[in-house]
Amino acid sequence: MASVPFLALACGACSDAQKERPWIVDRFDDIKVIRYEVPGFEALPLEQKELIYYLAEAAKCGRDILFDQNCVANLPVRRTLETIYACYEGDRTTAEWKALEKYLKKVWFANGIHHHYSNDKFKPEFTEEYLLSVIESIPEERFGELNALRGEVCVAIFDPNVYRTRLNQTAGEDLLWTSSSNYYSNVRQAEAEAFYEAMAAADAGNPEPVSYGLNSQLVKEEKTNRLYERVWKVGGMYGPAIEQIVGWLEKAEAVAAEPQKSNIAALINYYRTGDLKEFDRYNIGWVRDTVSNVDFVNGFIEDYGDPLGRKASWEANVNFRDSAACRRTEIISANAQWFEDHSPVDAAFRKPVVKGVSAKVITVAMLGGDCYPATPIGINLPNADWIRKEYGSKSVTIDNITYAYDKAAHGNGFNEEFVLRAEDRERIDRYGKQADDLHTDLHECLGHGSGQLLPGVSPAALRSYSSTLEETRADLFGLYYIGDPKLIELGLVPSFDVAKAGYADYILNGMMTQLARIEPGKDVEESHMRNRKLIAEWCYEHGKADRVIEWVEENGKRYIVVNDFERLRELFGEMLHEVQRIKSEGDYEAGKALVEQYAVKVDPELHREVLDRYAALHIEPYGGFVNPEYEPVRDAEGRITDVRISYPADYAAQMMHYSTDYSFLPNRN
């Protein structure tokens, strides 16, 4: 599971002037691209630098996989546009060219033709005639195989009725038939559900069930109606990219120390066989390894992109420990049992013994696949419930990324526009980042790992509402505890003011400012956004009689303010009590009712106001990153003697570089 940044906040009071090198390297549409730094890399011992270099190469090799997973048209569209981008010799100053260039930047950013967050298909601001005229000005042979796919590419870009959304979560519709992700081919929702229910039933009672369907496309054969899986492995679907990943992992294995060496070997074995038991074996080894300084994620991990929450997108992340910041998460992990025992949920739903919650703060060295360019700021893995229960989970927060966000948001006027009260602005300036960091730690280290299911309750019982409710549960856990006196006692916060800063931010975002990420007329779809809206609206409603949270109008603008922070904390606790019950009992109807009532529908007038005020600030609501580059320095015998890091600041150049040097899949997979 992953947490995504919930704020695009400014640290307005900070007077630290803009550095010589800007943090934001590109802006287009609703996106800003930021660079991040990797402090401490130069000081690492050579073996660790070399290990990072190999793992970073492996992290770049699966990029095409994600494009194809997101939609079958993505690779042909991207490659057609890249060929144009590289070869066009006509006028690059016209409005239509600029629109085409912007579209390509969006496709790179979203790893496909659908918005990375809203999942809606992009609307091109150039015409099909223009695209075709540009293509005609370029020698045909430059397009190679793409010539035959031209018609499909045009339909994918220009026909609004084809591939409308990557991920449809509208209750009552066939979620597979109406989603254009490529996890299922020619399969109806009921067929897929029956296929995997039968698989699970055949394995009923196994205390160590594999995550069925995690690493494959489910296909229905046209003639026979037979359903079968195309497994993502060496020699299977996506084989050419996976072979490259494995090649770099083998080099990494050669320089890694135990226990990491054996873990990398297990991962390689999983990639070779596609056997999900091997993946579990790897995960168990990985979660137990708390000693390696360099760590990484590389594989089919998160299932947010599958409407049925089963198939995982490919992602990668290479990182090393940020020792100073780790103190915070060590304290939290060391007290994991205390937090579980005092959690405001029914005693039957608490874990009697919390196992192996390991948490650390990391410095990211490379982002890949579904972590690039938009990245989570916290990760908690593995996702398999039984492994989490038996072996615990490993939780990280990514400090150099949140630092870069903070720097990029610096002085952007956000707080002045949306936060009414000066005391709230001051607290947010002073404690906002601390509250965010702690909330992320608590969400990841403890929130997701807390609680237990009643015997016999399936982890999949909440179906399409499970992601939203799981994020809600973890967020509530974090919100409840950042205001707990225990944190002061543990020395993690100086006072309740940190929680006040966090609460004011959270409610503002959940009820108001996150709407800036949604197009007019649309509902809230993404599960983290739904969870924030759910929490904020529920607390507003349940605290209404006491005016715990209140709408205030001033100078024709609406503001949301928290009047009673102590009571709000109690409401977080009460809501956690209910959401944990829903998860533990697998109460689908209650979960559905909560989400549909509070998390989905948007007030169109408020939405318009937020969009207008946000637009006036010229802040892009989404951020993503360019990666650093690593270059090995070799001696006369070819041995690596050092690895040099550099920070490119050209987004388009990095994308073209990756598409040239790290693109291994055919147009059709």
Residues that bind Zn ion (CB under 5 A): 1, 3, 471, 474
Q: Which is nearer to Zn ion, 3 or 663 (CB)?
A: 3
Angle between helices 74-87 and 128-136 (to 10 degrees): 60
Supply the DSSP symbol for 120.
B
Nearest distance from C-beta of residue 249 to Zn ion, angstroms? 27
**What is the nearest approach in angstroms of Zn ion to the Cβ of residue 440?**
9
Q: At what angle do helices 95-110 and 128-136 cross, to 10 degrees?
A: 100
Smallest gap from Cβ 303 to Zn ion, in A, equals 13
**Tokens at 428, concatenated:** 């947010």
Closer by beta carbon to Zn ion, 397 or else 659:
397
Q: Of 449 and 543, which CB lies nearer to Zn ion in the complex structure?
A: 449
Cα 217 off chain centre by? 21
Min CB(451)–Zn ion separation in Å: 14
Smallest gap, in angstroms, from Cβ of residue 443 to Zn ion?
A: 6
Q: CA dist 85 to 26, 156, 540, 653, 664, Å?
A: 17, 18, 49, 11, 20
Report d(CA 163, CA 58) in Å as an integer: 30
Tokens 């609680």 belong to residue:
451
Nearer of residues 168 and 467 to Zn ion, judged by Cβ: 467
Half-sphere exposure of 361 (CA within 13 A, CB side): 21
CB burial of 476-495 (b: ≥16 within 10 Å; e: otherwise) equals: bbbbbbbbbeebeeeebbee
Does residue 372 come out as left (phi exceeding 0), alpha (psi in the -120 to 50 range) or beta? beta
Contact at 8 Å (CB) between 6 and 623?
no
Long-range contacts of 547-554 (CB under 8 A, 24+ apart): 549/507, 549/511, 552/420, 554/420
Nearer to Zn ion, 468 or 667 (CB): 468
Residue nearer to Zn ion on the CB measure, 216 or 527: 527
> Which residues are CB-neighbours of 334 under 8 A, at least 6 positions away?
none
Least separation in angstroms between residue 453's CB and Zn ion is: 17
For Zn ion, the closer CB: 249 or 474: 474
Cα–Cα dist 106/618, whole Å: 18
Q: What angle do CA 466, 441, 527 make, to 5 degrees?
A: 25
In the bound state with Zn ion, the residue whose beta carbon lies nearer, of 1 and 507, is 1
Q: Which of 72, 62, 66 is nearest to 669 (CA)?
A: 72
Q: Could you give the CA distance from residue 552 to residue 560 in angstroms, rounded to a whole number? A: 6
CB of 582 to Zn ion, least distance (A): 17
Query: Closest approach of Cβ 47 to Zn ion, in Å?
Result: 33
Instruction: Rank residues 152 and 302 by Cβ distance to Zn ion and give the closer one.
Output: 302
Rounded least distance, CB 468 to Zn ion, Å: 11
Measured from the CB of residue 3, what is the shortest distance to Zn ion in angstroms?
A: 4
* CB of 652 vs Zn ion, minimal distance in Å: 32
Longest distance between any two alpha carbons in the chain, whole Å? 77
Nearer to Zn ion, 227 or 379 (CB): 379
Q: For residues 208 and 204, what is the distance between their CA atoms, to the nearest angstrom? A: 10
Cβ closer to Zn ion: 78 or 473?
Answer: 473
Q: How far is the CB of 409 from Zn ion (least distance, A)?
A: 22
Nearer to Zn ion, 383 or 434 (CB): 383
Residue 168 to residue 518: CA distance in whole angstroms:
15
Q: H/E element holding 328?
A: helix 323-334
